């Protein structure tokens, strides 16, 4: 699909969206909604199909190895130009290994990410050596007879001089339509001038075409002048890592430390040569992070994840259809369209799909239903008031809008911050979650609404019935707030104590630094025997974890930094009958681990700050404080539970914890929205009574949404395989604790904060009424009767 056509479709969609929102409800608005839905679905399907050619898969799915390389600063600071040039030098080294479409890109100010798909595990050490060694730039004289001696050597009429050797020189022809030229040159073995004397180099377009200019330091300028004066008219080879990059002719003696290289250069060749000449990889480099996954483990993981997603989707669809009946079928249609749009967006923007990204898609299955549940529970209430079906449907969507808008925006805040601050797989999770939220808003508020209103307005549906398994109660939730807080405090203290006692054992290799080796075997693995093998090299006390997936048994061994290769060889040699296969390996330096911990805390802190500002603007400070306390409560309990269960915190777990924060705030905002509505309506009773009534009114929605969200995540935990088991477990804990905190923690905090400030119901109602939904954001409470 051409970029021009994609731009045109995007422009048409933008116009249609603007027209839709500018049109009052009626036949025209419904036709616009139908046209928008049809165009988006058709465009998404055209973008996705065929999936095997268009969906980019991460290394954790298709297998491969990634390296994070850091340029170490010496006497010169690392500049953006030096980093870009280092990328080009490393790209040439990576091409040596072949493979499909390697990714080499700068990360931050002094790092380079190298991803090599399909790299055989046997070549990992070779790749490690190639990427980490310092580049060697040299200037070597070509035998000064304009090629006559080389011809004699090729005709066996002369021998190679002892200080020279024959080298290959591959370069572009002056005619761009002709293939590259393979040339042989007789080049000196020892460098006449070292590359360390080049101080700078750049490419520019001059009178003779693309030209490369280089500058030498004082000593280099003197040597270069002497060479060019002595060998005028002969060729001088520029060699990087033993490969001739260019072999220009010396035209004149060059003194002063400045020289120009001209020839039939293209812009790319000239800039590449300038990059070689300045060569930043003379600066020492180190591999700070290394991750490797075999295609077998990736294939097993994606099969398990897809199975979990399909099972979770099927159960969700059946449950929603049974519970809500006709409108449930509409919600199922909206959910399926949501998934199509999400996959289309991921494909169109060429996002790389990773295993956490698949988990994010599975999570959106549950979250996407939430908007429909909010609307349908409102619809139930409106019909119970005796309103006509047409008026009830309109009122349900208008009253549910603020809850849907506020809840999704707060979740979006955490997803965007996660995308901004995270890296690698976690960023993939944030992308899928962000796009899932946007797709959910479209399908619930536009697709679902217009389909339902079409049925009602056309008279095809005159009555809507739903199951009602969770009836309204008059539970005194706020009266139990103190007891609930004490229980939560006890659980937080237990988790904190365990966290303190376990120390570094709480953290995985991502944070502590070290090596992580994953081995598979078709047989049952005897961990005791593995530990016995490690005892022979003094590593008997290292962490060993077992798991099973796809009919194979796996062990994961975590050891100190740069000991993984030794562990791998020892286990394979000591247990040949186990038929072990290396499925993956991670190597993370302590510096990277520390930076991950800091960036994770920064992401959480920024997320909390963003939520605090948004909730204060939309509600009131008391609500923002309650939301933040509930969020911290959920995160602390989840992390504490992981410590109590002796699980490790990894980079992927950061994504899970921040997702929990997003879900927690989503659930809390829905409860807050109903409390805000109750206070603003002027309903009689104390603050406590109104808040209790509001929590009871949303109880049905809270339980239903939590159940629907848990279904796909439970499927991911049961069927998703060992790779995502901890990830899904964290979200399960977070959803349960988040549901509990939105009722028993967040609301009591609002009440206690208000009383501590000496505020009254009237004061709080006045403050939140002034912050009700502004024109242009969305419809306020319905006024139809």
Full 3-state SS string of 180-236: CEEEEEEEECCCCEEHHHEEEEEEEEECCEEEEEEEECHHHHHHHHHHHHHCCCCEE
Where does the pLDDT of residue 489 fall: very low under 50, low under 70, confident under 90, or very high at 90 and above? very high
Highest-pLDDT range among 7-11, 47-51, 422-426, 749-753: 749-753
Residues 731, 733, 738, CA angle at the centre, nearest 5°? 90
Extract long-range pairs of 609-613: CB within 8 Å, 24+ residues apart: 610/413, 610/414, 610/417, 611/410, 611/413, 611/414, 611/665
- How many C-beta neighbours within 10 Å does residue 723 have? 25
Q: Mean pLDDT, to the nearest integer, of 216-243? A: 85
Q: Mean pLDDT, to the nearest integer, of 654-670? A: 75
Cα distance between residue 288 and residue 592, in whole Å? 7
pLDDT in tens, 705-721: 888 888 888 888 888 76
Give the per-residue pLDDT at 784. Answer: 34
Asked whether 61 and 302 are in contact (CB, 8 A), the reply is yes
Highest-pLDDT range among 109-118, 127-136, 641-650, 764-773: 641-650
Q: Mean pLDDT, to the nearest integer, of 435-461? A: 87
Q: Mean pLDDT, to the nearest integer, of 54-81? A: 74
Give the per-residue pLDDT at 783. Answer: 35
Crossing angle of helices 651-680 and 621-644, in 10° steps, is: 150
Using only C-alpha atoms, what is the Rg of the chain?
Answer: 32
According to DSSP, residue 649 is labeled B
Cα distance between residue 783 and residue 387, in whole Å? 12
Asked whether 591 and 288 are in contact (CB, 8 A), the reply is yes
Where does the pLDDT of residue 778 fall: very low under 50, low under 70, confident under 90, or very high at 90 and above? very low
Q: Is the pLDDT of residue 560 over 70?
A: yes
Q: Is the pLDDT of residue 280 over 50?
A: no
Residues 6+ apart with CB under 8 A from 180: 170, 171, 172, 173
Query: Strand, helix or coil at 476?
Result: coil
Q: Mean pLDDT, to the nearest integer, of 385-397? A: 90
Chain mean position to CA 722: 20
Cα distance between residue 668 and residue 543, in whole Å? 39
pLDDT in tens, 257-275: 887 776 666 777 777 667 6
Tell me the sheet residues that pair with 507.
Answer: 649
> Can you read off the two tokens belonging to residue 35?
């046209």
Crossing angle of helices 389-421 and 355-384, in 10° steps, is: 160
Query: Strand, helix or coil at 350?
Result: coil
Q: Among 92-96, 138-142, 284-288, 640-644, which stretch is predicted with the lowest mean pLDDT?
A: 92-96
Where does the pLDDT of residue 462 fall: very low under 50, low under 70, confident under 90, or very high at 90 and above? confident
Cα distance between residue 274 and residue 290, in whole Å? 30
Residues 6+ apart with CB under 8 A from 276: 88, 89, 137, 238, 240, 245, 246
Tell me the sheet residues that pair with 103.
Answer: 115
Give the start-end residues of each E strand in 217-345: 236-240, 243-246, 258-262, 285-293
Cα distance between residue 692 and residue 36, in whole Å? 41
> Can you read off the two tokens belonging to residue 742?
């939105």
Residues 6+ apart with CB under 8 A from 484: 740, 744, 745, 748
Q: Dmax of the chain from CA atoms?
A: 111
Query: Mean of the per-residue pLDDT values for the chain?
Result: 79
Tell me the sheet residues that pair with 587.
Answer: 290, 515
Q: Mean pLDDT, to the nearest integer, of 594-611? A: 73
Q: Among 300-304, 528-532, 707-711, which stretch is predicted with the lowest mean pLDDT?
A: 300-304
According to DSSP, residue 149 is labeled H
Where does the pLDDT of residue 135 fall: very low under 50, low under 70, confident under 90, or very high at 90 and above? low
Where does the pLDDT of residue 155 fall: very low under 50, low under 70, confident under 90, or very high at 90 and above? confident
Q: Is the pLDDT of residue 664 over 70?
A: yes
Where does the pLDDT of residue 773 fall: very low under 50, low under 70, confident under 90, or very high at 90 and above? very low
Where does the pLDDT of residue 781 fall: very low under 50, low under 70, confident under 90, or very high at 90 and above? very low
Q: Is the pLDDT of residue 496 over 90?
A: yes
CA distances from 642 to 4, 425, 650 (A): 50, 21, 11
Crossing angle of helices 651-680 and 687-697, in 10° steps, is: 120
- How many C-beta neighbours within 10 Å does residue 349 have? 10
Where does the pLDDT of residue 606 fall: very low under 50, low under 70, confident under 90, or very high at 90 and above? confident
Where does the pLDDT of residue 119 fall: very low under 50, low under 70, confident under 90, or very high at 90 and above? confident
Residues 252, 258, 260, CA angle at the centre, nearest 5°? 60
Backbone angles phi, psi at 32, to 5 degrees: -65, -40
Give the per-residue pLDDT at 759. Answer: 61
The percentage of residues in the chain with a pLDDT greater than 70, rounded to a whole number, is 83
Query: Strand, helix or coil at 177?
Result: coil
Q: Is the pLDDT of residue 193 over 70?
A: yes
Give the per-residue pLDDT at 777. Answer: 39
> Can you read off the two tokens belonging to residue 271?
């800039």
- pTM of model > 0.75: no
pLDDT in tens, 85-106: 777 777 766 766 655 567 787 8
> Can you read off the two tokens belonging to residue 650?
């990894």
Map 34-76 to HEC letters: HHHHHHHHHHHHHHHCCHHHHCCECHHHHCEEEEEEEECCCCC
First to last CA, the chain: 50
pLDDT in tens, 323-379: 998 899 999 999 899 888 888 888 887 777 776 677 677 667 777 788 888 889 889
Cα distance between residue 705 and residue 766, in whole Å? 31
Cα distance between residue 693 and residue 11, in whole Å? 47
């Amino acid at each position: 699909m051409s970029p021009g056509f994609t731009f045109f479709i995007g422009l048409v969609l933008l116009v249609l969206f603007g027209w839709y929102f500018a049109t009052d409800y009626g036949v025209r608005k419904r036709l616009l909604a139908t046209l928008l839905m049809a165009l988006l679905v058709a465009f998404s399907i055209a973008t996705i199909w065929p999936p095997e050619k268009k969906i980019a898969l991460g290394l954790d799915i298709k297998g491969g190895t990634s390296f994070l390389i850091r340029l170490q600063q010496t006497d010169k600071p690392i500049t953006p130009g030096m980093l870009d040039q280092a990328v080009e030098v490393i790209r040439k080294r990576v091409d040596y290994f072949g493979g499909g479409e390697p990714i080499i890109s700068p990360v931050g100010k002094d790092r380079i990410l190298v991803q090599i798909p399909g790299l055989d595990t046997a070549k990992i050490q070779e790749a490690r050596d190639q990427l980490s060694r310092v580049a060697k730039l040299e200037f070597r004289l070509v035998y000064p007879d304009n090629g006559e001696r080389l011809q004699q050597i090729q005709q066996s009429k002369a021998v190679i001089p002892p200080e020279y050797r024959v080298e290959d020189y591959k370069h572009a022809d002056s005619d761009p339509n002709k293939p590259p030229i393979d040339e042989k040159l007789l080049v000196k073995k020892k460098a006449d001038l070292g590359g360390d004397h080049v101080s700078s180099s750049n490419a520019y377009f001059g009178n003779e075409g693309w030209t490369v200019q280089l500058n030498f330091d004082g000593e280099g300028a003197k040597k270069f002048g002497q060479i060019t004066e002595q060998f005028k008219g002969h060729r001088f080879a520029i060699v990087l890592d033993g490969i001739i990059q260019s072999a220009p002719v010396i035209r004149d003696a060059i003194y002063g430390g400045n020289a120009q290289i001209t020839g039939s250069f293209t812009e790319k060749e000239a800039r590449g040569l300038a990059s070689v000449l300045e060569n930043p990889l003379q600066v020492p480099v180190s591999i700070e992070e290394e991750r490797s996954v075999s295609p077998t483990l990736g294939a097993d993981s994606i099969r398990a994840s897809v199975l979990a997603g399909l099972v979770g989707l099927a159960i969700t669809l059946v449950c929603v259809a049974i519970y809500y009946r006709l409108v449930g079928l509409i919600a199922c249609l909206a959910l399926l369209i949501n998934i199509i749009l999400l996959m289309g967006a991921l494909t169109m923007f060429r996002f790389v799909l990773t295993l956490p990204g698949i988990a994010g898609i599975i999570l959106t299955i549950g979250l996407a239903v939430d908007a429909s549940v909010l609307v349908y529970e409102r619809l139930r209430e409106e019909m119970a008031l005796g309103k006509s079906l047409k008026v009830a449907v309109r009122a349900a969507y208008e009253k549910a809008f603020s809850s849907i808008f506020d809840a999704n925006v707060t979740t979006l805040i955490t997803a965007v911050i996660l995308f901004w601050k995270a890296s690698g797989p976690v960023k993939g999770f944030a992308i899928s979650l962000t796009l899932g939220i946007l797709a959910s808003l479209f399908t619930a508020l536009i697709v679902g609404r217009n389909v339902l209103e079409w049925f009602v307005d056309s008279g095809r549906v005159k009555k809507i019935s739903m199951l009602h398994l969770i009836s309204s109660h008059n539970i005194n939730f706020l009266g139990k707030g103190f007891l609930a807080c004490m229980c939560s405090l006890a659980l937080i203290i237990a988790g904190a104590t365990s966290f303190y006692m376990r120390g570094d054992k709480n953290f995985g290799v991502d944070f502590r630094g070290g090596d992580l080796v994953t081995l598979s075997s078709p047989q049952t693995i005897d961990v005791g025997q593995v530990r016995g093998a490690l005892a022979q090299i003094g590593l008997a006390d290292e962490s060993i974890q077992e798991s099973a997936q796809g009919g194979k048994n796996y062990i994961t061994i975590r050891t100190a930094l740069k000991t993984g290769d030794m562990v791998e060889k020892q286990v394979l040699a000591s247990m040949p009958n186990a038929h072990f296969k290396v499925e993956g390996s991670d190597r993370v330096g302590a510096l990277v681990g520390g930076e991950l911990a800091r960036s994770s805390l920064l992401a959480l802190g920024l997320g909390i700050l963003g939520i605090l500002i948004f909730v204060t603007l939309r509600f009131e400070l008391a609500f923002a404080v309650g939301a933040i306390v509930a969020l911290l409560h959920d995160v602390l309990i989840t992390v504490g539970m992981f410590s109590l269960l002796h699980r490790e915190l990894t980079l992927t777990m950061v994504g899970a914890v921040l997702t929990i924060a997003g879900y927690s705030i989503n659930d809390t905002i829905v409860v807050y929205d109903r409390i805000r509505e109750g206070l603003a309506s002027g309903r009689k009773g104390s603050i406590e009574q109104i808040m209790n009534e509001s929590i009871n009114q949303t109880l049905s929605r809270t339980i239903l949404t939590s159940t629907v969200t848990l279904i796909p995540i439970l499927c991911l935990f049961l069927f998703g395989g060992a790779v995502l088991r901890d990830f899904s477990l964290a979200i399960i804990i977070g959803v349960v604790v988040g549901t509990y905190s939105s009722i028993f923690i967040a609301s009591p905090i609002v009440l206690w904060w208000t009383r501590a400030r000496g505020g009254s119901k009237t004061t709080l109602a006045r403050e939140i009424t002034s912050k009700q939904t502004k024109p242009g954001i969305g419809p306020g409470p319905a006024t139809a009767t």
